[in-house]
Chains A and B, each alone.
Chain A
């Protein structure tokens, strides 16, 4: 029973990691770039949630929508201003820029909000006890919403013209643009979606673990990045799988080991996994023609 309880917690945390991991993987898939500022976009989403839900007192749905929209716009702006000029620069330059953008977001938020913020509940949370396991409606909401968003994303990428354009650009940007694909626009859409999902994750995190601070995106961001890579970077299902895997490992390790060992065991397990599958579980090495 304890195990099932923990599994529920794992699913909740895993959903949040998965949503963030999706943002990483989408940007990586289309630009082969690791957007290290992504974890901080998640943090901004949580703060937008605070602004909309607590400062403005809006109910849940408008809060969620506004936060997602705000984060999406921020993501697109960052892409246009900071990453676009570096599209043809050596591979590491955008990464360092991303680190810089992330630091900027963290400290700018800190400057504006020196003390952690508390998010008052936006929803009536009901808790049911089923056979010794307590399930809260918030948990169900988070898990369900995450899964729905992920499925919608998968459909979007596989079934729409925009999605097809995304995949074309990820394989060969130059040819795609020669074929008339509006590369800049599609890249902006990709960033918007990735950031929006990260923002949604921020809102959910803020509701589930109600104290937020400007540095919360750092660890979560790196962990989501690891999830994306372990799952196989560039693969949407990989990001989901990686996110749930990491969430699961973290919660279960914390449940059965002393809490200070949590990160150590979690990361060691992930390392072992990567040694076994160097390109991630669902990842495929980009074949190099010799």
Chain B
């Protein structure tokens, strides 16, 4: 059974069709890329999968269960996490708190215990702080733990966003343009990084990216979107010479 199966996904924004009959199937452990010109509908796919919008038509099956229509935090609890095209950290909170917030659903105590400080509060808070610090440590962010997220350099902010997403304990990770604004050197490091977290955290990854070196070098399979519809699907080698793909990207000059 595929981990994620999307069928007939269609969505409109006002009168504009953002996605038309989109389908996607991802098996456990795969690393799949989603590419396409700007405005093709890639982030819309992410938004629909994670529950930000309700799709006009279609099914989204995660581990066999329908998730279209569920609240975003329910979907996250089921095991899907994401990062954002424009970084959406909690800027005025500390780095540590950004990650701790993502442990919300896993805190083992309720409102009363929090308000009056009894029961499992202390133990759970220590557990969460420990796990959050461990996660930050694994990402090389531990020394920034008490810094405000807004003060982090750009590259570290992107890393923090991924760390925060991983705090929710996902099985499927959606990365939205993780390499935006990076130079070729940084991209190579990012590719290593993504390979590492995939192994370390047993993840299935779907990523949106414009930087071709990363997509071609990293992804096992690539899906190409244009004007809301899938125009090609295959291995990097197949996609690179696919005529419709070349046509979509500036009429033929889409050399990576």
Residues of A near any B CB (own CB < 8 A): 289-290
Contact = CB atoms under 8 A, between A and B. Distances in A.
Nearest to B52: A290
B148 interface: no
B20 interface: no
Nearest to B13: A287
5 contacts: A289-B86, A290-B43, A290-B47, A290-B52, A290-B84
Contacts of A290: 43, 47, 52, 84
A289 B47 CA distance: 10
Main secondary structure of the interface of B (DSSP, over half): loop
A58 B199 CA distance: 85
Interface string B54-97: 00000000000000000000000000000010100000000000
Interface string B130-147: 000000000000000000
A289 B86 CA distance: 9
B211 to A, nearest CB: 21
B86 to A, nearest CB: 8
B120 to A, nearest CB: 34
A290 B86 CA distance: 8
Interface residues of B, number: 5
Nearest to B176: A290
A290 B48 CA distance: 11
Interface of B: 43, 47, 52, 84, 86
Contacts of B47: 290
A290 B47 CA distance: 7
A285 to B, nearest CB: 12
B70 to A, nearest CB: 16
Q: Which 5 pairs, one residue from A and one from B, show the smallest C-beta to C-beta distance? A: A290-B52, A290-B47, A290-B43, A290-B84, A289-B86
A216 to B, nearest CB: 41
A288 to B, nearest CB: 10
A48 B52 CA distance: 52
A257 to B, nearest CB: 40
Contacts of B84: 290
Contacts of B52: 290
Contacts of A289: 86
B40 to A, nearest CB: 15
A8 B119 CA distance: 65
A287 to B, nearest CB: 8
A289 B52 CA distance: 11
A290 B43 CA distance: 8
A155 to B, nearest CB: 27
Nearest to B44: A290
A289 B53 CA distance: 11
Nearest to A287: B13
B126 to A, nearest CB: 34
A17 to B, nearest CB: 31
A24 B183 CA distance: 48
B231 to A, nearest CB: 24
A92 to B, nearest CB: 14
Nearest to A284: B14
Nearest to B47: A290
B7 to A, nearest CB: 23
Contacts of B86: 289
Nearest to B82: A290
B84 to A, nearest CB: 7
A126 B84 CA distance: 67
A289 B85 CA distance: 10
A290 B52 CA distance: 8
B78 to A, nearest CB: 19
Nearest to B43: A290
A289 to B, nearest CB: 8
A290 B84 CA distance: 7
A289 B46 CA distance: 12
A135 B241 CA distance: 80
Nearest to A288: B52
B176 to A, nearest CB: 9
A116 to B, nearest CB: 48
A290 B18 CA distance: 14
A135 to B, nearest CB: 44
A104 B47 CA distance: 48
A289 B43 CA distance: 10
A218 to B, nearest CB: 34
Contacts of B43: 290
A122 to B, nearest CB: 50
Nearest to A289: B86
A290 B42 CA distance: 12
A24 to B, nearest CB: 27
A211 B1 CA distance: 78
A260 B84 CA distance: 52
A90 to B, nearest CB: 10
A148 B108 CA distance: 64
